[in-house]
Amino acid sequence: MLYHFVTICFLLLFLFLPQSQALEPGELQQKAEEAVRTWKRVQELEDRWATEREKLLREIEGLEAQKRLLLWKKEKMEKYVADLKERIAELKRRTTELKKMNQELEPYLDETIKRLREFIKGDLPFLMEERKKRLLALQSVLDSYDAGIAEKLRRVLEALRVEVDYGGQAEVTEEQITPADGPRTVQVFRLGRLALFYRTLDGKEIGRFNPETGRWEKLPGRFSREMERAMEMAARRRAAELLKLPIGGLKK
């Protein structure tokens, strides 16, 4: 290829040089060599430019890809921001509702405990110490600045549930009562919230709590056997069966 290029250069020089300027062979060769060097420099520049151009094209493609990615991220971020704004607005709305609910709920909880206290006071007198302690602890929580409204509500519902459960229980406990002839420790049989009965520890005396008079009163000895069976059933030592214990007034 170089040979052909040199030949072409010689021909061009020969054709374009004025006739009056005839060159010696040495000068002609020198001119040709200069032309070759010039062509090589041009070719090198073209090669370098082609390489640089390819590099620039790759960079442009990369920048275009980055631009597309940034535009996508921008669009996504705008959607994220819009979604977050909606969530923040919803949280603010819920916070406002919760504050309003808290303001309304706290007085209601205090009123509920007040009613529960009155209810226990008028209820059958069983587990009074335990129930009073629970009320005191509950009131302490309601009066606590550090306790949240959720904790206060949970404790109130828990106390109400315990009181409700009492209505479906039959149990025997050892308690101190105060009948007409003075205080004594006895076994108390509680039938839900229907009735309270007692039996002395020696088993010689039985009785019941009369809700109409608010007093403990003795029962005739004929109910001793029924009382024994009732206590065995409450202790799950005997299968459930019908009992004949006085719930209302006694027949003489």
* Closest among 232, 250, 252, 251 to 240, alpha carbons compared: 232
Residues lower than pLDDT 70 in the chain: 1-23, 241, 248-252
Domain ranges of the chain: 100-166, 170-252
What three-state secondary structure class fits 30?
A: helix
What's the confidence (pLDDT) of residue 248? 63
Task: Strand 215-218: give its sheet, edge to edge.
Answer: 170-177, 184-191, 195-200, 206-210, 215-218
What's the confidence (pLDDT) of residue 250? 53
What's the confidence (pLDDT) of residue 251? 53
Output the CA–CA distances (angstroms, integers) from residue 127 to 44, 111, 178, 189, in the order listed.
107, 23, 14, 11
Residues with Cβ within 8 Å of residue 204, at least 6 apart in sequence: none
DSSP 80-94: HHHHHHHHHHHHHHH
